[in-house]
Structure 1
């Protein structure tokens, strides 16, 4: 393996172009791209000056000049293509959601561990400088013990604009595409829930238009989420503790700003006062930070990131499965 990791992009859709632009800002080397049809690979390679172009995914994963594969195809293919890359001895960064369900996520986790390669879900939010600052506040104890977390990720995505999200055969619906952000955020703050209660509004195609869920944790803490593709919500988040609160601005899952409040306990009822305002300023969308973490881990000899471990990814997918079980959303083949 070369000193600088050489990335191969499996898929060249919209998210790939956003990520490629951010990768280049950070000097991350995109060595190859593979798509179903060579025209897609050529267009992407021309745009980002990528030397190796492949028609078909097997050619990409077997490229000896590629060390790690970034997978950004439609959700039902994530696990299958991750397994293909792992079998070829490649490290993988798999676009969120990591798989369609927990069963598939476990298959990828187990295959990566057996092969001894690095694997991680591309939950890029976790690696943003703003999120790093938020968790410094939480872990410092400044807001006390966390007791309640809220998050919304609701966007207006009609079928005419985002037809993929309306198709169960493509892993559509609000929960899997948008709701993964609140669920993953809750997991980072509070761990795995002991109980989930969920309700959903189902589209005539069988996917969820809107899902709301309440999470209960063993220590008595709670969390509440909403996700929808038929309305624009606030797309914000809040972490409330016994000594204060963090309010995270729109869009909470992107590079954004936040405010920290402390509770003045000198008054019987308590009064909160603002003690910090964090204004985020970064280059690009912020997708590069996850890749920098991947490269840090691989150069350190790690096969998983402590910030986004494979066991946590599986646990998150188990929570997603439980929500879908309660709301009656199933995908073909399940």
Structure 2
């Protein structure tokens, strides 16, 4: 394996730019190529970020033997087909969240990856942020006692635009899949498997959820609550509640740099900064796994990805959101 893993990016949008910036920070990773269905966009992206190769189709990138690992940065609705294409081509994959539109698609991609022995990981970058790891350590050390609950929110006001992917059903739009996945992922990470779900939402004129709240009961004990919104700016915070105190993940909760512990000993704030834009940590995990010959990340296992998709399927069933083809 090369001393520097050569990454290829499918897509040239905002999230692709974030990962390209992260790749530039690392000594063992190289942005080798970028693909878009618009060759002009691919060329501009490659020029901006110093990628030596650009492609006018996704298939051309996947056919290049120089590409060691692929990042899928396209809109949600394209993830499933591109995952299958990457896996069939034998390319290890980091796929932007949500992994697929639903659990059926996710299960198909995961089954193929496992059958072919190809590494695949969902890009739930929050799991790798240093402050999130530190929060897990604090909970495990008993700083707030046995964990009993979690509250988390992520919302902002985005003016309606029927053509924007966020409001477009055909592209898997809506608050839940785009940003509600963050509170859900935190609940899953800290409290474990979900045994019951109750959800409600306000749907917009395009039929996607513009505000969704959900309550989860967890199999091993504890209740969590999540809120996501495209209509209001929320605090972007998360609070973990234990028998002896609370642990606050300061804004933005998906990549915090400050934690506050409040227990019988009082309150203390802990600074846990991250490097760059925070995306480097998931890249480091992919590189580590590939060098170790792993087919899944123990930190972001595919079973957790599938469980999160199943939970979002149930939330969408309750609030009445279906995507074309479902």
TM score, norm. by length of structure 1 = 0.95
Q: What SS is found at the alignment partner of 1:194?
A: strand
Match of 1:319 among 289, 300, 311: 311
Question: Residue 85 of structure 1 corresponds to which residue in structure 2?
Answer: 86
Question: Residue 244 of structure 1 corresponds to which residue in structure 2?
Answer: 245
CA-based RMSD: 1.3
Superposition map of 1:1-334 within 5 A:
1-27=1-27, 28-160=29-161, 163-263=164-264, 273-274=266-267, 276-334=268-326
Residue by residue over 1:33-76, the C-alpha shift from the partner in whole angstroms, topping out at 9 and shown as x without a partner, is: 11102111100110011011111011101110001100000100
Shift >4 Å, 4+ stretches: none
Equivalent residues of 2:257, 2:274 under 8 A apart = no
Q: What SS is found at the alignment partner of 2:34?
A: strand
TM score, norm. by length of structure 2 = 0.97
Q: What SS is found at the alignment partner of 1:65?
A: coil
Equivalent residues of 1:13, 1:72 under 8 A apart = yes
Change (3 A) 1:89 1:248: same
Residue by residue over 1:111-160, the C-alpha shift from the partner in whole angstroms, topping out at 9 and shown as x without a partner, is: 11111111000011110111111111111222111101000011111224
Q: Could you tell me how far apart the structure 1 residues matched to 2:216 and 2:146 are?
A: 17
Q: Could you tell me how far apart the structure 2 residues matched to 1:318 and 1:160 are?
A: 28
Q: What SS is found at the alignment partner of 2:264?
A: strand
Equivalent residues of 1:255, 1:285 under 8 A apart = no
Query: Where in structure 2 are there 5+ consecutive unaligned residues?
Result: none
Query: Where in structure 1 are there 5+ consecutive unaligned residues?
Result: 265-272
Range that drifts further, 193-202 or 23-32: 23-32
Number of residues of Structure 1 aligned to a counterpart in Structure 2: 325
